[in-house]
Amino acid sequence: MLNPGDEINKETNQQQQNAFGMVEGVDEDLAILDQIDNILSLEESQYPQFTLAKNKARFLRMLTWYKNKEEWLEVAPLSGVSKLFKQQTKELEGIRSNKLDYEMELETGTLTPSQRSYRKDELKMCKVHEKMAVQLISKMQVKIKSGRR
């Protein structure tokens, strides 16, 4: 029997494979992201490259937020973890929806070069966000499961 975390990881892997097939050749950085298990464990030199400075700043803020939440998990009360779990699970749906939108736009081939560059950056941001959210959700599932025994 699969645990909820297994289902999320299985769904993520399937979506990543589908996404890679849909935008194959779009950007090497996107393919590299698919191979990374934990974005939070990357060295600064390994961070994804973004075209827009605002996305680099967004990425760094997001990275800090997720790292802080992982530290918080170690001392967090079960009720707080459950609440964050619900929020993150709901947010993950939105992230995946946005990611699919960007993939479809890139696939159409009707974008100008600047639009294409912007969409690739946004797609990369969605992939990174999705990976960090899935990582946090799976850690919260472990905490919730162990706390309720």
DSSP string over 49-88: P-SSHHHHHHHHHHHHHHHHHHHHHTT--HHHHHHHHHHH
SS3 98: helix
Would you say residue 10 has pLDDT above 80?
no
DSSP letter string over 26-46?
S-HHHHHHHH-S-GGG--GGG
Print the domain residue range for 115: 79-149
Number of domains making up the chain: 1
Residue 1 lies in a domain: no
d(CA 41, CA 39): 5
pTM for the structure as a whole: 0.77
Would you say residue 15 has pLDDT above 50?
no
Residue 101 lies in a domain: yes
User: Sorting pLDDT into bands at 50, 70 and 90, what band is 4?
Assistant: low
Would you say residue 14 has pLDDT above 80?
no
Residue 146 lies in a domain: yes
User: How many C-beta atoms lie closer than 10 Å to residue 147's C-beta?
Assistant: 13
Residue 113 lies in a domain: yes
Half-sphere exposure of 13 (CA within 13 A, CB side): 6
Residue 57 lies in a domain: no
Residue 50 lies in a domain: no
Mean pLDDT (the chain, rounded): 83
The reported pLDDT for the residue numbered 38 is 86
| Per-residue pLDDT tens digits for 30-74 | 778 888 888 888 888 888 888 889 999 999 999 999 999 999 999
Which helix (H) or strand (E) segment is 136 a member of?
Answer: helix 113-147
Assigned token pair, 63: 């990275």
Residue 147 lies in a domain: yes
| Per-residue pLDDT tens digits for 82-133 | 999 999 999 999 999 999 999 999 998 899 999 998 999 999 999 999 999 9
Residue 137 lies in a domain: yes
